[in-house]
Amino acid sequence: MFNREKNEEHGLDQGEDGVDRRGFLQCMAWAGTGAFFLMQGGVLKSYSLSKLPMLERPSAGQLSFVQISDSHMGFNKAANPDVVGTLKIAVDKINALGPAPEFMLHTGDITHLSKPEEFDTVDQILKGAQAKDVFFVPGEHDVLDDDGKQYLERYGKGAKGGGWYSFDKKGVHFIGLVNVLNLKAGGLGTLGPEQLAWLRDDVSHLKGSTPIVVFAHIPLWSVYPQWGWGTEDSAQALSLLKKFGSVTVLNGHIHQTMQKVEGSVTFHTAASTAFPQPAPGAADSPGPLKVPPDQLKSILGITDVNFVRGKHALGIVDSTLA
Amino acid sequence: MKRILPIGLVVVAALNIVWTVAAQSKPADIKIDNFTFGPQELKVAAGATVTWANRDDIPHTVVSTDKAFKSKVLDTDEQYSFTFTAPGTYTYFCSIHPKMTGKVVVVQ
């Protein structure tokens, strides 16, 4: 359902193998999984699943990783009484990817109520993933009651301020941003001047040809401000990244996959591994969306990301849990 | 005249106590549901205790915009109470979902 909306939004027409949009969507329905987009030289193209073997996951030297999000450990209401189970299925899906992704990004709302046992359970479950390294950013559910003190103790080693940091993997520069602290009444997500100043410094020495991946919990573009689905000062952050030829922004928070391309910036949000939320404006409020139990796993999911060096190309594959 | 005055004073004092107790014991409840504080604006007398109850299926908080009060996170069916002693207008919001805002107006 969400993928169909997304495809229509982007007006995908004929792929390179002559499969038209309807044929592409039929392929998707048959496969029962998510979307495959390839961005090359700043242009987003769609590929039918029959092309997938040709575009198989890169060999050593290339870079592949997985994004998961919004595990909400501790949530136990009707929309999903078993968030432990669905997170474990997500880990199984990650382990079924071959070759193994090098690491995982978790784009926040690791826990539901910031409880120590909730953090512990997620750590325990993620230990079972073949990608041993996990890089986190907090969601608003991870910084309750203590302004993120516990989150920082667990995941903030080497991070600055509220937990922002960067690292490099195979020539790609990753930047973890925190936009869930010091939220103001009536406002959206916020990065703040201290973090923006750090970001400016962090990328100042990098060449424009360095691929950049930014990850943060709340979307860094205006998905639906009425529901708080946006970040007040994201435009400032993105202007600091103007010189780069390939910028990928990975977010969570909205519990559905959504993608947007603006010049050399590709924005992507991941599904939750816990529960879905309604499409923008499709309900009174962005609360947990109850679906028939047999449909739940087909609306939760993970995201597989692959970099193909030298072509500014990256593949983002969303797959559902069933 | 001399007898009426003390009785009059006693009656006025009694009425005063009854009036104050009545104002304080008027139910001052705010229900949190569907990402909304209901009622969004509540008027109470100084000394009243307001209780917020979360009936939503997602946690929320109650945080005053000028640090007058701040609840811990409230999961479904949890409550938070605050006694407003000073008159004034108190705007507040949910720090998890900052688009959720409300107001308590406290009168003498």
Distance of CA A45 to the CA centre of its chain: 19
Contact yes or no for A144 and B91 at CB 8 A: no
Q: How far apart are the first and last CA of chain A?
A: 14
Mean pLDDT on A23-37: 37
Interface test with B, best of A70, A80, A145 (most B CBs within 10 A): A145
Task: Look up residue A189 and give its DSSP letter.
Answer: B
For residue range B46-98, list pLDDT tens digits in order.
Answer: 999 999 999 999 999 999 999 999 999 999 999 999 999 999 999 999 999 99
Assigned fold of B27-107: Immunoglobulin-like (2.60.40)
Q: What is the pLDDT of residue A293?
A: 92
Asked whether the CA dihedral A25, A28, A32, A35 is positive or negative, the reply is negative
Q: What is the pLDDT of residue A317?
A: 87
Q: What is the pLDDT of residue A249?
A: 97
Smallest CA-to-CA distance from B43 within B94, B90, B75 is with B90
B76 and A CB contact within 8 Å: yes
User: Which B residues, 79 through 98, put their C-beta within 8 Å of a C-beta on chain A?
Assistant: 91-93, 95-98
Chain A CB contacts of B97 under 8 Å are: 140, 228
Segment among A19-33, A153-167, B13-27 with least mean pLDDT: A19-33
Residue A144: which H helix or E strand, with range? Answer: none
**Residues of A at the B interface, defined by Cβ within 8 angstroms:** 77-79, 112-114, 140-141, 144-145, 183-188, 226-228, 284-288
Interface test with A, best of B91, B96, B103 (most A CBs within 10 A): B96
Query: Is the pLDDT assigned to residue A26 strictly greater than 90?
Result: no
Q: What is the pLDDT of residue B2?
A: 58
Domains for chain A: give ranges and CATH numbers.
65-320 (3.60.21.10)
> What is the C-alpha to C-alpha distance for residues A82 and A175, in angstroms, rounded to an integer?
32
Q: What is the pLDDT of residue A17?
A: 46
Q: What angle do CA A87, B100, A73 make, to 5 degrees?
A: 15
> What distance in Å separates residue A19's CA from the closest CA in chain B?
43
> What distance in Å separates residue A224's CA from the closest CA in chain B?
12
> What distance in Å separates residue A83's CA from the closest CA in chain B?
14
> What is the C-alpha to C-alpha distance for residues A226 and B36, in angstroms, rounded to an integer?
13
Q: Closest partner residue to A185 among B57, B76, B98, by Cβ? A: B98
Got the DSSP string for B18-67? HHHHHHHHS--EEEEETTEEESSEEEEETTEEEEEEE-SSS-B--EETTS
B41 and A CB contact within 8 Å: no
**Check: complex ipTM more than 0.95:** no
For residue A170, the SS3 value is: coil
> What distance in Å separates residue A278's CA from the closest CA in chain B?
13
Residue of chain B nearest A225, judged by CA positions: B99
Query: Is the pLDDT assigned to residue A144 strictly greater than 80?
Result: yes
Q: What is the pLDDT of residue A312?
A: 57
Query: Is the pLDDT assigned to residue A196 strictly greater than 80?
Result: yes
Domain limits, chain B: 27-107
Q: What is the pLDDT of residue A315?
A: 82
Chain B CB contacts of A288 under 8 Å are: 57-58
> What distance in Å separates residue A200's CA from the closest CA in chain B?
27
> What is the C-alpha to C-alpha distance for residues A297 and A81, in angstroms, rounded to an integer?
13
